[in-house]
Amino acid sequence: MNVVAPFEGIGASVRRKEDLRFLSGRGQYTDDINRPGQTHAWILRSPHAHAAIQGLDTAAAKAMPGVLAVFVGADMAADNVGGIPCGWQIHNKDGSPMAEPPHPALAIGKVRHVGDPVAVVIAETKQQARDAAEAIVVDYAPLPAAATMEQALKPGAPQIHDGAPGNLCYDWHIGDRAVLDAAFAKAHKVVSFETTNNRLVPNAMEPRAAIGEYDAQSGDYTLYTTSQNPHVIRLLMGAFVLHIPEAKLRVVAPDVGGGFGSKIYHYAEEAIVTWASAKVKRPIKWTAERTESFMSDAHGRDHVTKAELALDAQGKILGLKVHTHANMGAYLSTFAPCVPTYLYATLLSGVYVMPVIYAEVKAVFTNTVPVDAYRGAGRPEATYLLERLMDVAAKEMGLDRVEFRRRNFIPVDAFPYQTPVALQYDSGNYFATLDAALETADWKGFEARRAAAAAKGKLRGIGISTYLEACGIAPSAVVGSLGARAGLYEVGTIRVHPTGSVTVLTGAHSHGQGHETTFAQLVADRLGVPIANVDVVHGDTAKVPFGMGTYGSRSLAVGGSAMVKAMDKIVAKGKRIAAHLMEASVEDVEFDRGTFRVAGTDKTKSLTDISLAAYVPHNYPIEEIEPGLEETAFYDPKNFTYPGGCHIAEVEIDAETGKVSMVNFTAVDDVGRVINPMIVEGQVQGGVAQGIGQALLESAIYDDQGQLISGSMMDYTMPRADDLAPVSVATHTTLCTHNPLGVKGCGEVGAIGSPPAVINAVVDALRDYGVRHIEMPATPAKIWNIIHGGRRAAAE
């Protein structure tokens, strides 16, 4: 009987290999790991947003039961421990570098946000450590706080860092101001728009955790941590903070329960437990409570923006001017400075022909948790601004919002397309994704649905967003010239074992994305190895040669491409071995999915024949070819990738309560070649859920004193299943032209495209109330205020 194996290669929706482990509770997360002799850390955190530390008495705590040690900032400083570094340097308009104030792992002299670490207690149990932390006496002299950017920028505002006058981190710009002014002078109409992009708390399901372990015999350190990029943590923590050479420091990021960006960064707790483990000569575990996550995981977004769009009489865009304030929080998190600049302002052309763009961005320190990249990072902010502005402008021009967009789309034949803000798009077809989405969402039939809803007392609205993003980050030389202090290539090793099974070592890290499946599919597709025989190893600096990790939807575009390069090398070497075994010339050997063939003959060798020969080199050209079949490649991308598409949201509002219900969501995305359609669908749905969360529900709110009011799930609204709508996901592919797989990335599109679609739908639903704009999140109370205000205005 001839059994045909199911196709598992590129394009197959194979089930995720990792799911059995996760769904049956057998994942191994950092907190599941227990090291022999392990102790526990509790971090004492500042209850004040801004205060001078006048005294710090740990004597009573040290005497408490089970306590091994208590450390404060001065102890780390005495050991020459460095501050938490920032990985990206932005330059001001005048060419001077941004303000980069020190960020000690444990506060020295001053605390700058609620949750700022002040001391650490190491004890036999977490309870004992926590009890002892309460016995630490800190003499705080509270200082006035700058909880918002507005407060921080006011003359006479509290000065948060000595090295950042006026609480300004940088004042940066991009684009040609003179050309812009000329364009605006010719404009038929200038549409102004102001908006706030709400601050979000990432809330990965797994709280952050870290275990530091020091081996006194070897002098080796190991850090187990909840990270999206263990090699980056090894580099940052080893080189800048603890001064441990790479060879002596192993960083393991085991199963990680969601990151969304918040687990990219090097955090104080990682350095604290690693450093302290050598002091107490025992492993130390720290696991965040949810409350700590709220006040110590880097938050996301938090922009205040004014924009102006210049248009000609036909509704063609002449130019865009943007002025943004971006909140950095109290300290610079690892990649914070690049988010509102090179991941935001460079995206302001969107899917449109914009002759000129000028954007200026001021980054501001405040007495709040540091802000950094969060799913989408900069691109959601740009997309939200643009796609709201397009709706507002269409209305003010008296144009249909779809037609207005179409009129300004980058034409299909214009690729590669150079924007006025540095990026060059390689491929895309925004008309195709728009048309497909309009069709799926039955845009034409909407007015009938609106009337039917009205008959039931509901206000129904529909909203569209045609978006683009830049991901697959990024060419090292380009980002280096823009201030990155790292390269952004990726590394892949393909290890073909003697009997033909394969281990993949990748520098990407999977924390929900399904790499163990998708990457195995790449191997199945190219080398013909069943995915069951492909093991994907990631997240351990002792196993994987190097890597830059997973964020910016880069794993497949960059990490997958590194694997392709490594597989190319495997095939090239395999052909030479096959040529020897089949007594043919190398040029005549062809390879297709696991089979080497002498062209035009029926002489074949399987991959297993070749791997066996490579590891048991009896009949082998040993003088010319090394034994073994393992190859490593570093892949540095030539450009960003540019997924784009169209999202359509349909909502219904209960006019009496203001509550918005999502009734439908359509996403048609161009993510390049699709490896596993099921995984892409899941990624888009998850992203859309977060986008709906931002648009309707989520908001990190500080009071004037810098206390986080929405500091728990009681007040911070995470999206739940019944807040969402059925999300219809489809893809329309134009291939990426510069990576070998033609892939673009799908991890963030959902979170990028959806918020403006939702808000556009809400504004549309309220069209009879004279609403120009509603800020995110569009909560019931806010909408009720609009309806109520509108009614009153109409009555007066």
Partner 1 sequence: MYEFSYHKPASVADAVKLLSADPEARPISGGMTLLPALKLRLSKPTALVDLSGIAELRGIRRDGGTIVVGALAKHYEVATNADIKAAIPALAWMASTIGDTQVRNRGTMGGSVANNDPSADYPAALLALGATIQTDRRKLSADEFFTGMFSTALDTGELVTAIHIPVPEKAGYAKMKNPASRYSMAGVFVARGPAGVRVAVNGAGANGAFRAPQMEAALQANWSPDAVAGVKMDPAMMNGDIHGSAEYRAHLVTVMAKRAVQNAG
Do residues 250 and 205 make contact, with C-beta atoms less than 8 angstroms apart? no
Site residues for partner 1, 399-428, by CB under 8 A, read none
Q: Binding string to partner 1 for residues 660 to 699, with x set by CB under 8 A, is what? A: -------------------------------------x-x
Half-sphere exposure of 256 (CA within 13 A, CB side): 35
CB nearer partner 1, residue 64 or residue 434: 64
Between 62 and 659, name the residue whose CB sits nearer to partner 1.
659
Name, in order, each residue with C-beta under 8 angstroms of 285's C-beta and a sequence gap of 6 or more. Answer: 31, 34, 35, 38, 39, 40, 41, 209, 210, 211, 273
Three-class DSSP category at 423: coil
For residues 35 and 267, give the distance between their C-alpha atoms in angstroms, rounded to a whole number. Answer: 21
Q: Looking at beta carbons only, is 267 or 702 nearer to partner 1?
A: 702
Considering the complex, state which of residue 47 and residue 480 has its C-beta at the smaller distance from partner 1.
47
Q: Which two structure tokens, joined as six digits, stand for 110?
A: 């001053």
Residue 483 Cβ, how far from partner 1 at the closest point, in Å?
Answer: 37
Q: What's the min distance (Å) between Cβ of 289 and partner 1? A: 8
DSSP three-state, residue 68: strand
Using CB under 8 A as the criterion, what x/- string covers residues 72-111 for binding partner 1?
A: ----------------------------------------
In this structure, the chain runs to a length of 796
**Residue 79 structure tokens:** 């050991």
Q: Which of 153, 179, 701, 735 binds partner 1 (CB under 8 A)?
A: 701
Q: Where are the beta strands (DSSP E) in 403-500?
A: 417-418, 424-425, 458-468, 490-496
**With respect to partner 1, which residue has the nearer C-beta, 281 or 791?**
791
Q: For 307, list phi and psi in degrees, rounded to 5.
A: -135, 155
Nearer to partner 1, 169 or 787 (CB): 787
Q: How many residues bind partner 1 (CB under 8 A)?
A: 25
Cβ distance to partner 1 smaller for residue 89 or 717? 717
Q: Is 724 in the site for partner 1 (CB under 8 A)?
A: no
Report the residue number, 127 or 499, with the smaller CB distance to partner 1.
Answer: 127
Kindly tell me which of 198 and 229 has the beta carbon lying closer to partner 1: 198
Smallest gap from residue 716 Cβ to partner 1 (A): 6
Six token digits for residue 74 = 């001065």
> What's the Cα-to-Cα distance from 173 to each of 87, 359, 362, 781, rounded to whole Å?
20, 6, 9, 37
Q: Quick check: 60 binds partner 1 (CB under 8 A)?
A: no
**CB nearer partner 1, residue 162 or residue 656:** 656
Of 143-151, 398-406, 710-718, 752-760: span binding partner 1 (CB under 8 A): 710-718
Region from 227-235, 464-472, 644-652, 707-715 binding partner 1, contact rule CB under 8 A: 707-715
Q: Toward partner 1, which CB reaches closer, 76 or 689?
A: 689
The footprint of partner 1 on residues 767-796 (CB under 8 A) is 779-781, 784-785, 788
Contacts for 454 with CB less than 8 Å, ≥ 6 apart: 460
What is the Cα–Cα distance from 585 to 186, expressed in whole angstroms?
68
Assigned token pair, 53: 């530390």
* In the complex, minimum distance from the CB of residue 309 to partner 1, in angstroms, rounded to a whole number: 32
Identify the residue whose tokens are 């995206």.
347
Would you say 472 and 739 are in contact if contact means Cβ atoms under 8 Å apart?
A: yes
Distance CA 721, CA 694 (A): 15
44 in Cβ contact with 118 (< 8 Å)? yes
For residue 9, count CB atoms less than 10 angstroms from its CB and return exposed for 0-12, middle for 13-18, buried for 19 or more.
Answer: middle
Nearest approach, Cβ of residue 136 and partner 1 (Å): 15
Nearer to partner 1, 91 or 130 (CB): 130
Within 619-638, which residues bind partner 1 (CB under 8 A)?
none
Stretch binding partner 1 (CB under 8 A), from 304-312, 331-339, 389-397, 706-714: 706-714
Q: How far is the CB of 89 from partner 1 (least distance, A)?
A: 36
Q: Give min distance, CB of 63 to partner 1, in A.
A: 18
Radius of gyration of the chain (CA): 28
- Compute the distance between CA of residue 709 and CA of residue 185 in angstroms, rounded to an integer: 45
Q: Smallest gap, in angstroms, from Cβ of residue 781 to partner 1?
A: 4
- Of the residues 606, 632, 717, 728, which one makes contact with partner 1 according to CB under 8 A: 717
Residue 573: in which H helix or E strand, if any?
helix 561-581
Which one, 348 or 695, has the nearer CB to partner 1?
695
Residue 686: half-sphere exposure toward Cβ, Cα within 13 Å: 17
Is 709 an interacting residue with respect to partner 1 (CB under 8 A)? Answer: yes
Dig out the tokens for 94 from the structure.
């005048």
Which tokens go with 615?
A: 């590891």
Residue from 186, 715, 770, 773 in contact with partner 1 (CB under 8 A)? 715
Q: Is 5 in the site for partner 1 (CB under 8 A)?
A: no
State the Cα–Cα distance between residues 383 and 347, nearest whole angstrom.
Answer: 8
Given 716, 756, 759, 774, the residue binding partner 1 (CB under 8 A): 716
Determine the residue type at 176: D
Binding partner 1 by CB under 8 A: which of 713, 767, 772, 793? 713
State in angstroms the smallest separation of the CB of 512 from partner 1.
Answer: 23
Stretch 542-601 residues interacting with partner 1 (CB under 8 A): none
Residue type, 167: N
Contact 558, 635 (CB under 8 A): yes
Q: Which residues contact 561 (CB under 8 A, 6 or more apart)?
A: 490, 635, 637, 739, 740, 741
Instruction: Give the strands of the sheet with 458-468, arranged side by side.
Output: 458-468, 644-654, 660-670, 727-731
**Minimum distance of partner 1 from residue 777's CB (angstroms):** 9
| Nearest-approach distance from CB 340 to partner 1, in angstroms | 25
* Min CB(693)–partner 1 separation in Å: 11
For the CB of residue 633, give the shortest distance to partner 1 in the complex, in Å: 47
Q: How far is the CB of 306 from partner 1 (least distance, A)?
A: 25
State which of residues 38, 89, 159, 291 lies at the interface with partner 1 (CB under 8 A).
Answer: 291
> Backbone dihedral region of 275: left (phi > 0), alpha (psi from -120 to 50 degrees) or beta?
alpha
Q: Find the shortest distance in angstroms from Cβ 203 to partner 1.
A: 12
Site string for partner 1, 113-142 (x = CB under 8 A): --------------x--xx-----------
Backbone φ, ψ for residue 273 (5° rounding): -70, -30
Residue 714 sits in the site that holds partner 1 (CB under 8 A)? yes
CA-CA distance, 181 to 139, in Å (whole number)? 54
Token pair of 201 as six digits: 């708390």
Shortest Cβ distance from residue 27 to partner 1 (Å)? 21
List phi, psi (to 5°) of 214: -120, 130
Span of 41-49, 192-200, 399-407, 711-719 interacting with partner 1 by CB under 8 A:
711-719
Non-local CB neighbours of 41 within 8 Å, separated by 6+ positions: 120, 121, 122, 129, 269, 272, 273, 276, 284, 285, 286
- For the CB of residue 250, give the shortest distance to partner 1 in the complex, in Å: 33
**378 vs 658, beta carbon nearer partner 1:** 658
Are 183 and 403 in contact by the 8 Å Cβ rule? The answer is no
Q: Which is nearer to partner 1, 177 or 788 (CB)?
A: 788
CB of 717 to partner 1, least distance (A): 4
Cβ closest to partner 1, residue 179 vs residue 701: 701
C-alpha dihedral, 170 to 171 to 172 to 175, nearest 10°: 170
Q: What residues from 644 to 663 belong to the interface with partner 1 (CB under 8 A)?
A: 656-659
Q: Which residues bind partner 1 (CB under 8 A)?
A: 127, 130-131, 291, 656-659, 697, 699, 701, 709-710, 713-718, 779-781, 784-785, 788
